[in-house]
Amino acid sequence: MSTDPYTILGVSKTASQDEIRKAYRRLAKKYHPDLNPGNKEAEDKFKAISVANELLSDPEKKARFDRGEIDIHGQEQGFPGGGAGYRHYADGNQGFRYSQAGGTHGSQFSEEDLQDILNQFGGGFGGYKFSRGSTGSQKGQNRRYHLKIGFLDAVNGTISRITLPEGGTLDVKIPAGIEDGKTLRLRGKGEPGSQNGLAGDALITIQVTPHAYFKRDGQDIRMTWPVDLKTAVLGGKLSVPTPTGEVALNVPAHSDSGTVLRLRGRGIPARKNHEAGNLYVTLQIKLGKVDPVLEEFLRKSSDQSN
């Protein structure tokens, strides 16, 4: 197996710390021993990428390696390297750690990252828990909550408070434009960890209640709104509600029921990878109080046509 840490992680010598960390995360998800039980090849590869990451994630060690002062194991060139290995340990739960040059070390790939990987396989992959060092620390369990919010709060964003089982409260920042069924993660707000382990996360599933007349359509909002006959026939201004307050809508002359008018940018606010949506107003003619003059005119027109 290669002794070049850049080759092992599949990154260039000019890779940033973020690129190195992402490369390590990707390979760890593939070769972590807890996810490949009994696979000696995966075990060896994970040892190698752990050692490579331990070196390259430390800017000082990385610079010394690039100058040829130390080898991949951090040993001075010309001295025998200690190598790296891994071992399982018994602390009530099996777990994984690796040791280098006789000592136990973590890496830039955090306990939280590895636990997230294991959580993808059922919250621990058959009982495995990642622990760092000899303390047997474990990350706390996640807590799940359901939070009901109004349609306008989902569109505009808000801060909502939930009550915890033990009686405490937790303020949740709702981002503008959140969709029904989305889950927010509040790191460290779940069950406390054991033996100085990280706390779990709070996973909050959002339920958006329907609105009386607004309806979401992707980034757009649609609504049906009444217009009086005079405005529909002659055209004019019509006051309509939007998620951020009332605005004046220009109604063209001779607008019939079913006519759809657009208010640009009055839908769901802009967010990452999404432009602001529009508000589409479907007109519905509502007579209201009929003018006697109009009524007499229509009656005479009807008599003449007959």
Helices 59-66 and 40-56, axial angle in degrees (round to 10) = 90
**287: nearest Cα among 261, 242, 257, 252:** 257
pTM score, whole prediction: 0.52
Domains of the chain: 5-119 (1.10.287.110), 143-208 (2.60.260.20), 215-293 (2.60.260.20)
Largest CA distance in the chain: 113
Residues linked to residue 84 through DSSP beta bridges, in sequence order? 100
Cα Rg for the chain, rounded, in angstroms?
Answer: 32
Q: What is the pLDDT along the chain (306 residues), one digit of tens a residue?
A: 678 999 999 999 999 998 999 999 899 888 888 788 888 888 889 889 999 999 998 888 999 999 888 888 888 875 444 443 333 333 333 333 333 333 333 344 444 555 555 554 444 444 444 444 444 678 888 989 999 999 999 999 999 998 887 778 889 999 999 999 999 999 888 888 887 888 889 899 999 999 999 999 999 999 999 999 889 999 999 999 999 999 999 999 999 999 999 999 999 999 877 899 999 999 999 987 777 877 777 677 666 665
